[in-house]
Every structure is written in structure tokens, then in C-alpha cells.
Structure 1
Amino acid sequence: MRINILQHTPSEGPGMILDWAATQDAAVTIYHPYQFGKLPTAAATDLLVILGGPMSPNDDLPWIAQERTLIRDLFAQHTPVLGVCFGAQQIVKVLGGTVQQAPAKEVGWAPVYRQSTAIPRIPAQLTVLHWHEEMFTIPTGAQLLFSSDHLTNQGFVLPGQAVGLQFHLEPQAVNVREMVANDGDYLTGSVLQQSAEQVITTPVPMANRMALYAILDALTTG
């Protein structure tokens, strides 16, 4: 399996996605389009993972538009796509949805609640890392997958094709420390009202790995 990952900031890497890829004996390539302007081709992709970042899909940047062209090409050939945070918003834009300011900025650890059983083995509730202040509409044909106390549209599934998550399941403890060390100022103004120390010292739940693996398994096994 050829897994291509689009990373959009140094402090938000693939984390546990790489662990899952190792269980599949997959060939992983990480692209940094925000810096180098390079993207994989659809023909060389068996799974695309689009990670988060500080930019908005509403920004007028050439590489953002080029990413959406790639997503369209992958949909045309029925190649699965996982989007996280900014990545999920990119998928939504391709599917004709909208991305706009959320009613509350969510940064820190907080629960999300499963809204669909379309993907097996996902717990009814997860405590996940939020790092966002925008929100998306649920695309036509997709199912609402997760909600939180402050935002209804936290995740969606387009069966057999895509999953988008507004929050982060992928970080391990080292990744959380990296995010806070480099982008901890972003905690200011969050409705979750957590300090950098609170975010760093919160253990990463084992259930997050299980849910992430379940999502990736569902995407790649049809």
C-alpha cells in the first residue's frame, strides 16, 4: 500500500498514523506542500492522509487549490482519503460544503460523541485533542460521525471513500508536547480554558489509537 501524507506545519505530524502504516507494511511518503509546493499524483496513491495546519481552506493559496484537485482525482478513482482538521475542511470544500468560523474556539482535550455506527469498533465517547476555531458543514451524501459539547459537526464519513475529523486522534504524547511547545499561544481564548501544562500532562487515551486504527481499517478495506 502506498500512503501519501500531506503535512501543513512542522508541529502537526502523522503521529500514530505511522504506527498503523507499519502494521500494513505500507510505503509512506510525507509531503510538505506549504513549503515545497509538491504533491503526489493520484496514480501513485492508495491512501491519502491530509493533516491539520494553521491555514484555512478559504485562503487563496495555489497549493490549497492544488490539493483539492488531487482530492477530486482520488474520488474519481475511488481512492480513500482521511482528512484531519484542515484536511477534513479541504474534503468538505471539494464536496461542495462550506467552512467558516465556529461559534467557539476549541483548543485542548475534550470529549466527542459518536453519532453513527457506519464504522465498527469506534467507542461511543472519546477524549480527543481539539486545535481549531473553524467548522465545516456535513457534505451531501456523508453521515455525521462525531459531535462535541460545543460543536455539532466534529466528524463525517462518506462510506467507502472518505472520513473527515475536525479534531485530532493521531497525536502521541511526544506530538502533543511538540504542538504545545511551538503553538501553545493558540490556547488563548479557547472555550476549554486549559493551560499548556494541563494539555501536556493529560494522558493520551489508548482508545484514540483504537478508534484511529478502526477508521483507517474501514477506509482501506472497503
Structure 2
Amino acid sequence: MLPIAIVQNASNDGPCFFATWLGANGFAHHMFRMDLGEALPSTLDGFSGLGILGGPMSANDDMPYYPAMFGLIQASIAQHKPVIGHCLGGQLLSRALGGTVQAAEHAEIGWSTLRAESHLATEWLGTHEPLELFQWHGESFSIPARATRIATGRYCANQAYVVDGLHIGMQFHCEVDAPKVRDWLRTGAAEIAASMSPAVQTPAQALEHLDAKLANSQAIASTIYQRWAQNLKP
């Protein structure tokens, strides 16, 4: 199996449980660190699929590597190589497919209980209860014309979509582990304190029952990753 190309946009937003799951299931991956000024590959030849992580920048920003990023996503789709986007990654995937990214109905920080939608939801998300996942975003994506929404939320309607049975864009962070959650809550304390959104939790609220919430979140993530990996190109 060829390795998976993973794009990291920010120094504090690494692959975490995504990389853990890939390694445990025998999938190699190669990191492309945009935060370190590395270049994206010009082609996905030599890779089985594409993973895109989150970051504090907007999908609408004029980042110097965005044109190459959109081209890489579109090339991956044209080659039927699965793409998975976490938060910003899901927004970039939406834009590459002709969707838009705009201010979310409410900013979300902390744990959010979602509702599965469509006949594809069980296939991609499983039957885990509650469907509770970690969030950190102020913008959200539209559902591209070719896509089907599979998860929605009270405070942000568009939470996850799938395209052609191969690609998935997510607004939530199913890749989080305990160090990432704790680091974000520490470094983002001022953002949390300044927010007026009803969907923003205090650090104390977000840390409550953290081990149990992460175990459930990572079980959901494992279902998502397993379904996505079914179509990785050998």
C-alpha cells in the first residue's frame, strides 16, 4: 500500500489519533508541513489518499499554498484517491468542489452532540451514542452539490458530508487526543473568554469526563477512518 499524504496547516494541529489509527492498522503516511514552509507534492502519484488537517486560518484566506492545495484536492478526486478533511480540511475540500465557507451560525468550542443524517450515516459514522465530538471553529462549509450531508448539529447545521462514497469532509475534530485538547484549551483561553456563543464551553466544561469523551470520540473516529480507508489506492 502506498503511503497517505497528510497536510498539516498549523504547528499545534497535528494528526494525533488519525496517525495513531493509521499506524495501528498498517497504513504508512507522509507529512507535508505547511506551518514549516514545506511544499506540497505536485501530484498524488506515489500516494494512496489525501488527509488534510485543521488550522486557525480561514479557507477563504489568501494563503500562498492554497492554489496548490485546491489543485491537489481536485487531482485526488479525479484519480479516485480518497480525501479526508478535518475542520479546515473539510472546508478546503468543500471549496475545491465548488462549495463556500462562511461564518457559522454559532462558533463552537468544546464538545458537541450531533445527529446523524441520511442512509449513509451508519456506514460512515457507525451507531455510536452519543455522537459527541470535539469542535473548534468559527466558520463552516456549505454542502457541495455532489455531496450528501451525514451529520448535523444544533448550533452548526453542516457537520459532515461524503462525496462519491470516497471522500469525507468534517467540521469537527475526531482526531483529537488528550494532549491536543488540553493544549488548545490552555492556549485558546482568551478566545474562549471573549466568545458570546452558546456553543462555546469553558475549559472546565470541556475537560469534564475527558477520558470517557475521548474514548467515545476515538471509537467514532475509528469507524470513520475504517470506512474511508476501504478505498485507498494500493
Specify the TM-score bucket, using the shorter chain as the normaliser: over 0.9
TM-score normalised to the size of structure 1? Answer: 0.92
- Say whether residues 1:5 and 2:6 are aligned partners: yes
- The 2-side partners of 1:80 and 1:200 are apart by 33
Match of 1:212 among 221, 224, 233: 221
Which of these residues, 53, 57, 65, is aligned with residue 59 of structure 2? 57
- 1:145 — aligned with what? 150
Q: How many Å apart are 1:184 and its aligned residue?
A: 2.9
Do 2:136 and 2:172's aligned partners in 1 also have CA atoms closer than 8 Å? Answer: yes
Alpha-carbon distance in structure 1 between the residues aligned to 2:75 and 2:98: 15
Aligned to 1:195: 202
Q: What's 2:31 paired with?
A: 30
Partner Cα distance (2:205, 2:25) in 1: 34
**Is the CA contact 2:155–2:199 (under 8 Å) kept in the aligned structure 1?**
no
Whether 1:172 and 2:183 are equivalent positions in the alignment is no
- Give the AA of the match of 2:64: P
The Cα of 1:217 is off from its aligned counterpart by 1.6
Using the TM superposition, give the Cα deviation of residue 201 of structure 1 relative to its aligned residue in structure 2, in angstroms.
3.7
Aligned with 2:65: secondary structure?
A: helix
CA distance in 2, matches of 1:183, 1:44: 37
Aligned partners of 1:110 and 1:127 also within 8 Å: yes
**Counterpart check, 1:221 vs 2:230:** yes
Name the CA distance, whole Å, in 2 between partners of 1:124 and 1:64: 36
Which of 146, 160, 168 aligns to 1:163? It is: 168
| Percent of matched pairs sharing the same residue | 31
Determine the C-alpha separation between the residues in 1 that align with 2:189 and 2:22.
29
What aligned pairs does 1:94-133 form with structure 2 within 5 A after superposition? 94-118=96-120, 119-120=123-124, 121-123=126-128, 125-133=130-138
- Partners of 1:171 and 1:158 in 2: CA distance: 23
| 1:193 Cα deviation after fit | 4.0
Q: Is the 8 A contact 2:10 2:34 kept in 1?
A: no
Aligned to 1:184: 189
Equivalent residue number for residue 82 of structure 2: 80
Gaps of 5+ in 2: none
Residue ranges of structure 1 left out of the alignment (5+ in a row): none
Would the aligned equivalents of 1:12 and 1:179 in 2 still touch at CA under 8 Å? no
Read off the aligned partner of 1:196 and give its amino acid letter: P
Q: TM-score, normalised by structure 2?
A: 0.88
Q: 1:74 to 1:34 in 2, by over 3 A?
A: same
Q: For residues 193 and 131 of structure 1, what CA distance do their matches in structure 2 show? A: 9
Q: Is the 8 A contact 1:85 1:166 kept in 2?
A: yes
User: Amino acid of the residue matched to residue 206 of structure 2?
Assistant: V
CA distance in 1, matches of 2:166, 2:12: 27
Q: Please provide the CA RMSD for this pair.
A: 1.7
| CA deviation after TM superposition for structure 1 residue 122, in Å | 4.2
Find the aligned partners of 2:147 and 2:129 in 1 and give their Cα distance. 19
**C-alpha distance in 2 between matches for 1:65 and 1:202:** 41
Mean Cα displacement is larger for which, 193-202 or 57-66? 193-202
Residue 73 of structure 1 aligns with an amino acid whose one-letter code is: A
Deviations 1:78-106 (A, max 9, x none): 00010011000000001101101112111
Q: CA deviation at 1:4?
A: 1.6
